[in-house]
Amino acid sequence: MDHALIERFTKLDKAFHERTKGGERIFARFAALASLKSSKSVEALVEQSFEIRDKLNEELGLWRSPGRAMRIVFAASIVSSGHSAKHFLGARNALIQRKSERGGRSLSQGGSCAALALTVAGGQPHLADNFYDILEAIAAPWWRREAMREEVLAAAFTAIGVTPDEAISGLNQARNNLITAGVPKNHANEAAYEVALLKPDESQLAGAWTTLNLAVRGRSALKHGLGKTGLAILAAHGDGQATADALVNSFDTVKSLKPRAAGRTAASLAMRLTQAQTGDTSPTSAARDLADILAAQAAMVATIVAVSSATIATAS
C-alpha cells in the first residue's frame, strides 16, 4: 500500500469536508480523490478548487449541469490538471454549440462530463468536431449504450489526437482482451470504455481478473459495490496481487473515514483510490501518462454521477 498517497487522501478528505456541509460532503470526498495526483499543497488545492467552484456557480447558475454540489468535484479535477474554469466552460460551450449545428444525439449531463474529460486531458474547444466524429465511431448500439463512458473516452481520444478508426480499434482491442481474460461479455463491454486508454497487458489480465475475484470473496459490500465491471477495470492495471492488496486496504481506509462512507459509495472510493496507487509509474510517453490521469479522474466523475442519487441521504 502506498502509505504516502493514503495519508494525502485522508488530509485532502478532511480539508474538503471542513469547507462543505450536509449533502455536499459526499462530493467533497470525491473531490479529494480528484486531487490526489497534483503536486500542489493540500491548502492550495482546496482554496483554488473552491475559487473555481465559485466561478462555475456564477457562470452556470442554479440549473445548468453539473449540479451545484457536483461542481466541487469538477473544480478539483480542473485545478489538479492545471487548467481553469474558463477552459472548461469554453469546452462545454463548444460541444453544445457544435451539437446544435451537427444534430445527432444529446450529450449526457449537458455535455459537462465530456467537457471535463477534454479539459483534464489538455484538449481545446476547437476540437469539438473531432470529438463528435470519434463519439459516432465508438458508440454502442442504443440498447447497450453507456453514454457517459462513451463521451468521456471520446473526449480523451480527441485530446490525444487519435483518429476515429484508431479509437474504435483501441476500444475493440481492449474489449477483446477483457473477454479473453474471462470477463463476461456485458461487463467487458462496459469496462472497455474505461481501460482502452491504458492499453492493458494481455498477458497479465487473466491472472489479475482471477486474483481480484478471489480477493473480494467474503466481502459482500466490496464485491457487490464494484460488480464485475469494476473488477475488470482494476484487472486492467495488471499485477493482480498488488492490485487486490491495494483494493482491500483502500476499502478499509475508506470505511474508517468520518463521516462514514457506506455501500456503493465506499466501494467506488476504494476502487478509485486503488487505481491511484496502481497506476503506471514509469510512463513511456506523455499520452500514456495522460491516460493514467484520465482513467483515475474523469472516470471517477462518471461514477459519482451514477451513485450520488442513491447515497446522498447517507452522506447527509
Question: What are the pLDDT digits (tens) for 237-289?
Answer: 888 899 999 999 999 998 888 878 767 778 888 888 888 887 643 222 223 33
* pLDDT tens profile 116-138: 888 888 889 999 999 999 999 99
For 170, residues 6+ apart whose C-beta sits below 8 A from its C-beta are: 157, 162, 196, 197, 199
Range list of H helices, the chain: 3-18, 25-34, 42-60, 71-80, 85-102, 112-120, 128-138, 147-160, 164-180, 185-195, 202-215, 220-235, 240-255, 263-278, 286-315
Of the candidates 11, 8, 13, 31, the one whose C-alpha atom is nearest the C-alpha of residue 260 is 13
* pLDDT tens profile 61-83: 988 888 888 888 889 889 988 89
Q: Which three cell numbers stand for residue 2?
A: 502506498
Structure letter (DSSP) for residue 196? G
How sure is the predictor about 291, in pLDDT bands with cuts at 50, 70 and 90? very low
Give the SS3 label for residue 2: coil
How sure is the predictor about 295, in pLDDT bands with cuts at 50, 70 and 90? very low
Rg from Cα positions in the chain:
18
Q: How far does Cα 176 stand from its chain's mean position? A: 22
For 238, residues 6+ apart whose C-beta sits below 8 A from its C-beta are: 200, 201, 204, 205, 208
Domain locations in the chain as residue ranges: 163-310
Residues in the chain, overall count: 316
